[in-house]
Structure 1
Amino acid sequence: MNATFANNLFRQSIQDYHLTDNVDTPANNPFPADDIAFLLYQKNWIDTVQWHLEDIIRSPTIRPDELVAVKRRIDQSNQDRTDTVEQMDGWFFEQFRDITAKPTARLNSETPAWLLDRMSILQLKVYHFQEQVDRPSVSDEHRQKAQQKLTVLLEQEQDLARCFDELLDDIRNGDRYMKVYRQMKMYNDPTLNPVLYSEAK
């Protein structure tokens, strides 16, 4: 498991989504459910669908009822994204369970899965800025600006990949360690969101 493996899976998910380019297309995850590849693919599929839902909700012609429905889908997507990241961190925690951290080991504030979350979304930015560079109907100025941003994103892709691989190496070597913290989101919980539990009375 390394950054190249993860980024390749993210790219595969993005390419698979764009075969139909439809937010209602069901994910056809090709990996076994007990494989980390399944979670990586699932994570990026959620991100990819949400990326396009975020586009849809910004349409100036969207009807109010459609806007509300898409907003609720985005809320659920955020919950699914968080749940998947936590499952991924659970997988990493099990992989590192038997490693004894050195007395000088440092706690890393960002877990492997939350770093992968950033990497997944970055792959979406790379894909869509490349689309802008390749758009035939835009001006040279538009294309050049898109290319400048794409160049920065590609540099960031290399930086995050290095950071991810170094983090895993450090954990394996006992130089850093991780903890799994649940996000404890409140807005979807009818017992914790004051608007929801007030209306339920």
Structure 2
Amino acid sequence: MFTGLVEGLGVVRRLERGGEDLRLVVESPVSMGNDFSIGDSVAFNGCCLTLVEHHAMDSGGMSIVVEAGAETLQKTNLGDLEVGHAVNLERALKADARLGGHFVQGHIDGVGTIQKIERHGEWIDMTFKAAESLTQLMVEKGSIAVDGVSLTVVNVDADSFSVALIPHTLEETTLGDRKVGDAVNLETDVLGKYVQKLLAQRV
């Protein structure tokens, strides 16, 4: 379980492809320290993966290694990563920690595409194209995780939704470098999924 509050930007250092699988080696920022253990759940652009290796680096950061299978690569943007790309990193929520974002499972529902970017001073309004099966689970002022970042939905239509990004989010996550046409991982609020299923069973 995560909160959607990105702890730091990692940098892809190596990609090892084996058949339909991907082994991902990422350098974590010094600010995240060395509190990593094999078996930990870590969100990479919002996708929950299991840590299989970790090593200290001369830079002060950690080399953390995860593996993604065919299912994950088909349903997320992780297969588009290249060496040098930045990724949003978040370790699993501790039971005694503050919940500043919203409950994020790290289970990506689908991939959306950036449709429009509008700058208003230091803020940005970003609009995403998304499948109707996802927008049906969104509500205005509700929560959405975009590449693992907890955000508030501003507007939602049948095939798109928008968010407003503050300067801090633009500086501390990959969303500040995103461009029109880029693919992003989307996870809708789990509450909406349960409500949708319960209502469907009553029909």
TM-score norm. by structure 2 comes to: 0.23
TM-score norm. by structure 1 comes to: 0.23
Which has more helix, going by share of residues? 1
Structure ID, larger Rg: 1
Which has more strand, going by share of residues? 2
